[in-house]
Amino acid sequence: MPSEQAVYLGVDVGATKIIAGLFRPRTQGKKSETAAPPVEALSQAKVRTPKSGKAKDLVAAIADVARLAMEEAGTSSAKLAGAGVAVPGPLDREGGIVRYTPNLGLENYPLAAELSQALGIPIRLENDVQAGVLGELVAGGLRGARNAVGIFLGTGIGGGIVIDGKLYTGSTGSAGEIGHMILLEGGPLCGCGNYGCLEALASRTAMAKDAVALASSGKSLPLFEAAGTDFRKFRSSAFEAALEQGDEAAGRIVDRAGFWLGVGMANLVNILNPEVILLGGGVVSRFGKRLREAAKATMEERLMTGLAATVKVVLSELGDLAVPAGCAIAAEAELEGVKR
């Protein structure tokens, strides 16, 4: 049983950035009766994800950002009660193996063992969006929800499912790959190799490809000034800035992504009947309100009669710290022997 001062490390490994944070659970696995969130963030650090595509460079970057977070909090790995690291894609949690990450280039890679060696501490491996949904469930926008879905939009799209108040991970731990739900047969090529996935239609990568077409044709000066015609240079901030300038072309790109997101949300509501859908990730942190309204309107148009009134659509409360917090919560749960 950890002490009241137990500290946990959580790391979110994304395609463009790696975020680490240190957390102290205020309730040590028990439900809080106070208004204070049950997880206290002690520090946060961020670095760019290496572009080399080499696993050793990725491991080094994760270790570096973890050390930065520990230094900011004035602690060391020897004083941590536990640590969790989250990556996109399917995992072998027990073996600490990343089966496949379409946006990071890892396949059947022993990431937990490599990081344990680099940092000198045991590492629990997590799926990034499952961890983010767990963070929101315990300490964010999904607190109190019994049946819910979380959708996180960034370079790709991931998801997490809550059933009867617990995170549902499926038979092999890979449940919630919402981004690879096929919505448009013969649609755009997705990073997973299929065509017409939600991720290929509504992620920041999908929006960036649309933005290139507009920028190159001279139809959006703000987007052209932000990134030219290289879709890899488009960040969520570029769309946010264009929207703030009243650029209608950029607005149409966001609305189109919202349309496809809403189609996917309607499918999820019809199948799972959640009480709430939470939207998170880097895209949502920048222009989530407009995206939510477009998605919500499309979803409601496509739901069976009466279902629209049964589901709320909310935005993440934890932002960039949702995934690291979820990793820390999962690490605490493992130490206590609690099933989240």
Q: 275: closest CA among 314, 311, 304, 315?
A: 311
CB 320 within 8 Å of CB 16: no
Q: How far apart are CA 19 and CA 21, in angstroms?
A: 7
Q: What is the pLDDT of residue 286?
A: 86
Residues 207, 77, single domain; the answer is no
Residues 71, 207, single domain; the answer is no
CB 322 within 8 Å of CB 280: yes
Q: What is the pLDDT of residue 119?
A: 94
Domain that holds residue 312: 144-316
Q: What is the pLDDT of residue 71?
A: 96
Residues 131, 228, single domain; the answer is no
Residues 82, 169, single domain; the answer is no
Residues 15, 99, single domain; the answer is yes
Q: What is the pLDDT of residue 250?
A: 86
Residues 242, 203, single domain; the answer is yes
Residues 66, 103, single domain; the answer is yes
Identify any residues that bridge with 86 across adjacent strands, giving them in sequence order: 12, 126
pLDDT in tens, the chain (340 residues): 445 578 999 999 998 899 999 999 765 444 444 455 678 999 999 999 998 889 999 999 999 999 999 999 999 999 999 999 999 988 999 999 999 887 788 999 999 999 999 999 999 999 999 999 999 999 999 999 999 999 999 989 999 999 999 999 999 888 999 999 999 999 999 988 999 999 999 999 999 988 888 877 777 777 777 766 777 777 788 888 888 888 888 899 999 999 999 999 999 999 999 999 999 998 898 888 999 999 999 999 999 888 999 999 999 999 999 999 999 999 998 876 655 5
Overall domain count for the chain: 2
Q: Quick check: is 73 in a domain?
A: yes
Q: Quick check: is 236 in a domain?
A: yes
Output 225-232 pairs: Cβ under 8 A, ≥24 positions apart: 231/205, 232/208
Residues 13, 66, single domain; the answer is yes
Q: Quick check: is 3 in a domain?
A: no
Host H or E run for residue 157: strand 157-163
Q: HSE (CB half, 13 Å, CA atoms) of 105?
A: 13
Q: What is the pLDDT of residue 1?
A: 41
Residues 157, 236, single domain; the answer is yes
Q: Supply the CATH number for residue 253's domain.
A: 3.30.420.40
Q: What count of other Cβ atoms lies within 10 Å of the Cβ of residue 108?
A: 10
Q: How far apart are CA 240 and CA 222, in angstroms?
A: 10
Residues 181, 287, single domain; the answer is yes
Residues 59, 20, single domain; the answer is yes
Q: Token pair of 69, please?
A: 């977070």
Q: Quick check: is 123 in a domain?
A: yes
Q: What is the pLDDT of residue 4?
A: 54
